[in-house]
A and B are shown apart, each in its own frame.
Chain A
Amino acid sequence: MLSIILRSLKDKKMQLLIITASAISFLEMYIALFPALQKQAASMAKLLQNYPEGFLKTFNIDRSSLTFEKVGQYLAMEQFSFVWPILAIVLAIGFANYAFAAEKEQGTIELLLSQPISRAKLFISRYLSGLIGVVAFSAISILAIFPLAALHKVSVQPRGVFVLLGLSLLFAWAIYGIAFWVSVIFSEKSRASFMVGGVLILMYVLNILGNLKDSLHAIKYFSFFYYYNPNLAIDKGQVLNGSILVFVAAIIITFCLGLFWLNRQDLTTS
């Protein structure tokens, strides 16, 4: 099992490095800009206060937090409401597709299946290797806030950063869980990616519609993006009610479904 995990990580290390480096680069850019923006905090806040309500709701931004006094609020708005989730999604789908959809598409699954290893162990090995990637990305790209903030002499609240790390990790893991299950089902990477992308876009739309229209407010509860509120996490060290439950439930359900599916499935090359 360890050999499969290590080999998988070796195969995906470049993707992990590139995506993590991209996240840190964006983070560095935003933190470096923060001291200059802070000096213009009053005018910037005034500008942002005039943003349409719908726009702010779309990115889960609380109007009262638009003060530019704290780096946490600023990072939540710039980095963690948009850039980081996209990078996390790309990474999660990449690792998940590699696990099974790509193996089936390229026919290499036969090498794995002809070895004395059960499907369950194969599933867990591949799941863990991707999870290690997701955890490494989340930890490095978020904990990098501390050295970068110190570098630019910006103060951050450690509790908020750690709560953000926990929430972000669960968010990325839940998406990885869906992508992994889909990778077990499909035999082509492109179809698996489209399916996961479609589900996430639908969730994103549900969150926006639920926030914008009172009559549709309940549909936002079906979206991971509603439960992923980086502003609340980094600024106040809190998460929305039910967030942890929703993400943990999604992780457990998709894991069980993927394992069940793989054990029943005909694993042929596409």
Chain B
Amino acid sequence: MSVVIRIDNLKKHFGSTKAVDGVTFEVKKGESFGFLGPNGAGKTTTIRCLMDFIRPSAGKITMFGLDARKDSVKLKHKIGYLSGNVKLYHKWTGSEHIKFVQDIRGKSKNVDELIQKLNFDPSIKFGSLSSGNKQKLGLILALMNSPELLIMDEPTVGLDPLLQNTIYQIINELKTKGTTVLVSSHNLPEVEKICDRAGIIKQGKMVAVENINELGQKRLHKIEVRFGGRYSKDDFKISGVENIQEVKDGLIFTVGADIDEVIKQIAKHKITDIEVTHANLEDVFLRFYEKEL
């Protein structure tokens, strides 16, 4: 498979702040690559360098074998871009935005289909749209010229689950058509849903690049359980269970392995309440990537 994105030792420093400090990775054609890291890790800065919004302090970025800066215009014919917090012209309607992009990029073949699929009303001014509809318009603008490469910077931040799922569905459809996707996120389950591989970035450095299956094994659950009868903290000192804290009538702990055994252990007790959540990315980093930093 040919390489679509190649980033080699990318550095971007803002004064003494090292926003990105030696990031290297590749994204292959047709691949969906997740760029995973907590807020402030350097994801947006890397994407802005890719898009030539900002200029790297050092390193090299090529896409489709072309230089991201020198061949920026050629490349942008092939790239669709969507940021997490879409900012467009408040006084323009959706149709005016679409026309503007068509005037620059050429007539779109799929814009009507996208409008229909996203159930978007293009006659409303951008300033009057809800945040979800603003994001829909951003997505339409990014996809309306059928890009070969779609770059998205935290595209589902602040969106309701329904719209999040629509975006995941669209990304998965694009993947089947051979579109290469780079999506940044601080949400591990999201990356698992839509990506084949993920690069893990923290404090401007690439910690690891993992296949999504391997990443899935590193999923960390946080379980908060309240008991209606007798229980003992020692009952839960089993493989994978960590950080057990006692709270009123219950326990809170993290599970870094298969949760099946733990759930079975919990089921042996009388339960009044239980909450199983995915641990946040910081916890995942602490658990799995601390040594690499």
Contact with B along A103-137 (1 / 0, CB 8 A): 00011111101111110000000000000000000
0/1 interface trace, chain B 40-66, chain A, CB 8 Å (1 if under): 000000001001111100000000000
CA distance A11 to B97 in the complex (A): 13
Q: How far is the CA of A64 from the CA of B203 in the complex (A)?
A: 72
CB of A149 to closest CB in B, whole Å: 38
Question: A111 touching B141 by the CB < 8 A rule?
Answer: yes
**Which residues of A sit under 8 angstroms from B79, Cβ to Cβ?**
114
Which chain B residues numbered 35 to 91 have a C-beta less than 8 Å away from chain A? Answer: 48, 51-55, 72-77, 79, 81, 83, 85, 87-91
User: In the complex, are the beta carbons of A266 and B53 less than 8 A apart?
Assistant: yes
Residue in A11, A114, A116, A117 whose beta carbon sits within 8 Å of that of B91 in the complex: A11
Q: Is the CB of B72 within 8 A of A268?
A: no
Q: Please, how many angstroms separate the alpha-carbon atoms of A135 and B36 in the complex? A: 51
List CB contacts (< 8 Å) of B81-140 with chain A.
81, 83, 85, 87-91, 97, 100-101, 103-105
Report which of A116, A267, A269 forms a contact with B77, defined as CB distance below 8 A. A116
Q: Are A114 and B51 in contact (CB under 8 A)?
A: yes
Contacts of B141 in A (CB 8 A): 111
A7 within 8 A of B: yes
* B window 140-163: CB within 8 A of A: 141
Q: Is the CB of A115 within 8 A of B76?
A: yes
- Which residue of chain A has its CB nearest to the CB of B91? A11
CB-based contact A268/B48 at 8 Å: yes
Q: Which of A110, A116, A264, A267 is close to B83, meaning CB atoms less than 8 Å apart?
A: A110
Q: Which residues of A contact B88 (CB under 8 A)?
A: 108, 111
Given A108-B87, A110-B83, A111-B141, does the pair A117, B52 have CB atoms closer than 8 Å?
no
Residue of B nearest to A121 (CB): B73
Give the CA-CA distance A110 to B53 in the complex, in Å: 7
In the assembled complex, the Cα of A88 lies from the Cα of B88 at a distance in Å of 29
How many residues of chain A are within 8 Å of chain B by beta carbon? 21
Contact (Cβ within 8 A) A110 B87: yes
Which of B76, B85, B97, B104 is close to A3, meaning CB atoms less than 8 Å apart? Answer: B104
Q: In the bound complex, do residue A114 and residue B81 qualify as a contact, i.e. CB atoms below 8 Å apart? A: yes
Number of A-B contacts (CB under 8 A): 62
Cβ–Cβ < 8 Å partners of A110 in chain B: 51, 53, 81, 83, 87
Instruction: Count residues of B near A (Cβ-Cβ below 8 Å).
Output: 28
> What residues on B are CB-neighbors of A4 within 8 Å?
104
CA distance A110 to B90 in the complex (A): 14
Closest chain A CB from B208 CB (angstroms): 28
A116–B53 CB distance below 8 A: no
Q: In the complex, how many angstroms separate the beta carbon of A260 from the nearest chain B beta carbon?
A: 14
Residues of A close to B52: CB separation below 8 A: 113
B73 pairs with A116, CB closer than 8 A: yes
Query: Once bound together, how far apart are the Cα atoms of A11 and B91, in whole Å?
Result: 9
> In the complex, are the beta carbons of A115 and B104 less than 8 A apart?
yes
> Complex: how many Å from CA A114 to CA B152?
12
Residues A107 and B76 in contact in the complex (CB < 8 Å), given A264-B55, A268-B54: no
Flag if B104 contacts A267 (CB, 8 Å): no
| B58–chain A nearest beta-carbon distance, Å | 14
Which residues of B lie under 8 Å from residue A107 when comparing CB positions? Answer: 85, 87
B72 proximity list for chain A (CB < 8 A): 118
A269, B87: Cβ atoms closer than 8 Å: yes
Complex contacts, A3 vs chain B, CB 8 Å: 100, 103-104
The residues of B with any CB-CB pair to A shorter than 8 Å are: 48, 51-55, 72-77, 79, 81, 83, 85, 87-91, 97, 100-101, 103-105, 141
Residues of A within 8 A of B (CB): 3-4, 7, 11, 106-111, 113-118, 264, 266-269
